[in-house]
Amino acid sequence: MRQVIRPNTKIQLRNENKAGPGCFLLNTIPYNYRIFPVPSYFISISSIMLYAAIVWFGSRERARILSWIRQWPQNPTLFAIWLIWLGFLLVFAPLSYHEADMGVWRTSIQNLLNGELLPENYVYLPVYAWLQSALVFPFHLLGWDSPLLIVYVVKWFTILAYAACAALMSGFLPKHSDLAPLGIVLAPVAIFYLFFGANHIVMFLFLLIALILVKKEHWLWAGFFAAFSCYKFLLVPTCITLGILVLWQYGFKNAIRFLLGSAIFMIPNTIYYFFDTATLLRIVTQQAAIGAHAAHIEPFHFFYLISNQFNGFEAWYIGKKIWFLLSLAGIPISLILFKLKRVNLLQCLALSYAFVALFALEPFRLEPLIGLVWLDAVNRDDLPLQSSVFLTLFIHAAAWYDLANSAFLTFDPAIPADYWAGRGFYLGLTVILMIGVMVIKRHPENPVYLRLL
């Protein structure tokens, strides 16, 4: 019987020729041994398709790509500074990273290239590591897949997503092309993550692509990229909300096409889970709260202070799945406000994600929320909302600051430790303030629009 062997698994093999009928030999299977290494040749096929698509699309759309790259910023001096900044990031950002996070990525990519299962601390949909493994595969074939090369591939993917967000946000609001990208480009924590090694900016990039495709009514691709934005599961409520909005605004047939695009995206993930059912079961049973964030309320969480003050709160919040219910509550609340014409489409999506940012066990991954709210604020020339976005950005940076200190920084011991312990609570209050400004403030001259810009 063909099967995939996970690490430290013991199996019984029947060997009737050497040991006689009915005799079982107990063997320990090494970590790097697999009876049926299916993912390895899927990676090679995916790599060929990926590079062929890049060459084909690049040769066909070269002029459009070049004009898109030059789209933002339009001022020649600012554009030169932007290119120098991106060049600096591409060269030097991969030389710094969080060892634990990068260790997961290196192991994940190397495992897939070697036909092994993803490590148990990998907390994304497998297709994300699959894509990066496909990028590394030609170098792996030549024996050049060093750990440093893998780090550069992982980091470049995130840095290019950061650059692409700027260009796409600029094109999303052509009347405000200079201002539209600033909420992401100038976000302190988004920049810090480029050096840290986190990839939350990629979630927003795929969601933004999905919104652009919805605007152009390319439903299959819109559904595909909406599903892709959920590779870390945090955007699932937002994409469910988007699917319902597509149904309401564009009709049943287009909503089915959107759903079909999402289903197509799930095909490679389903193929992988066929050989790694244990991970799939863990995702389902834990509502995708897998990894280091599943067992406790971390110090950066909105409810960390409350969990310290009230014994049993953490066990109740996690054990009773209260976090999960609160994260999903954003879907009906945002849709009801949309039906009441209290929020527009971008605000509706932002509100649905705000519940995840506040209440999920992996809190304050703010790039999607900031990106959506900033686009709405710029589109409506809403200065108070724009100001609240940057207030949130800088409070986010302050809340994250002490977690990112180096050996060269010392925090004054006279500052009470409780001040830092409440950083998630302070940040949560600014997020609530920002959402309140967005939802409560009404502009008669800027009516709610029922279609996407």
Q: Are the CB atoms for 384 and 433 separated by under 8 Å?
A: no
Task: Give the tokens for residue 309.
Answer: 């003050």
Tell me if 363 is assigned to some domain: yes
Tell me if 405 is assigned to some domain: yes
Structure confidence at residue 408 (pLDDT):
64
Q: Measured between alpha carbons, how far is 274 from 268 in angstroms, rounded to an integer?
A: 10
Average pLDDT over every residue of 150-157: 92
- Show Cβ contacts of residue 416 under 8 Å, excluding neighbours closer than 6 positions: none
Q: Which residue has the tokens 């100038």?
A: 186
Please check the confidence at residue 407 and state whether its pLDDT lies above 70. Answer: no
Please check the confidence at residue 245 and state whether its pLDDT lies above 80. Answer: yes
Q: Are the CB atoms for 175 and 375 separated by under 8 Å?
A: no
Name the average pLDDT for the chain: 83
Structure confidence at residue 451 (pLDDT):
56
Average pLDDT over every residue of 166-174: 92
Structure confidence at residue 292 (pLDDT):
54
Task: Show the beta-strand stretches assigned E in 218-360.
Answer: none
Top-ranked range on mean pLDDT: pick from 65-69, 283-287, 392-396 = 392-396
Q: Which of 264, 254, 177 is nearest to 228 (CA)?
A: 264
Please check the confidence at residue 117 and state whether its pLDDT lies above 90. Answer: no
> How confident is residue 331, by pLDDT bands cut at 50, 70 and 90?
very high
The answer to which of 14-28, 40-54, 310-324, 419-433 has the lowest mean pLDDT is 14-28
Q: Which of 288, 361, 355 is nearest to 328 (CA)?
A: 355
Tell me if 195 is assigned to some domain: no
Please check the confidence at residue 26 and state whether its pLDDT lies above 70. Answer: no
Structure confidence at residue 288 (pLDDT):
65
Tell me if 243 is assigned to some domain: no
**Which structural domain, as residue segments, surrounds residue 31?**
1-36
Average pLDDT over every residue of 250-271: 93
| Burial (CB count <10 Å: 0-12, 13-18, 19+), residue 429 | middle
Tell me if 139 is assigned to some domain: no
Taking the CB of residue 52, how many other CB atoms lie within 10 A of it? Answer: 10
Average pLDDT over every residue of 298-316: 88
Please check the confidence at residue 40 and state whether its pLDDT lies above 50. Answer: yes
Structure confidence at residue 227 (pLDDT):
96
Please check the confidence at residue 23 and state whether its pLDDT lies above 60. Answer: no
Structure confidence at residue 122 (pLDDT):
84
Q: In percent, how much of the chain has pLDDT > 70?
A: 82
- Show Cβ contacts of residue 240 under 8 Å, excluding neighbours closer than 6 positions: 331, 352
Task: Show the beta-strand stretches assigned E in 15-139.
Answer: 24-28
Q: In percent, how much of the chain has pLDDT > 90?
A: 46
Please check the confidence at residue 413 and state whether its pLDDT lies above 70. Answer: no
Q: Which residue has the higher pLDDT, 418 or 355?
A: 355
Structure confidence at residue 355 (pLDDT):
96
DSSP 5: P
Structure confidence at residue 281 (pLDDT):
81
Please check the confidence at residue 300 and state whether its pLDDT lies above 50. Answer: yes
Q: Are the CB atoms for 109 and 155 separated by under 8 Å?
A: no
Structure confidence at residue 141 (pLDDT):
87
> How confident is residue 133, by pLDDT bands cut at 50, 70 and 90?
very high
Structure confidence at residue 402 (pLDDT):
63
Q: Are the CB atoms for 118 and 105 separated by under 8 Å?
A: no
Dihedrals phi, psi of 27, to nearest 5 degrees: -125, 140
What are the helix (H) ranges across 8-75? 16-19, 38-60, 62-69
Q: Which residue has the tokens 């946000």?
A: 169
DSSP 24: E
Structure confidence at residue 362 (pLDDT):
85
Q: Are the CB atoms for 5 and 35 separated by under 8 Å?
A: yes
Q: How far is CA 150 from the centre of its chain?
A: 19
Looking at the structure of the chain, the number of domains it has is 2
Tell me if 433 is assigned to some domain: yes
Tell me if 251 is assigned to some domain: no
Tell me if 235 is assigned to some domain: no
Question: Does residue 4 come out as left (phi exceeding 0), alpha (psi in the -120 to 50 range) or beta?
Answer: beta
Distances (CA, A) of 242 to 210, 245, 247, 391: 10, 5, 9, 27
**Nearest-5° Cα angle at 207, 363 to 447:** 95
> How confident is residue 418, by pLDDT bands cut at 50, 70 and 90?
low
pLDDT digits (tens, 9 = 90+) for 58-115: 888 888 888 877 888 888 899 999 999 999 999 999 998 888 888 888 999 998 888 8
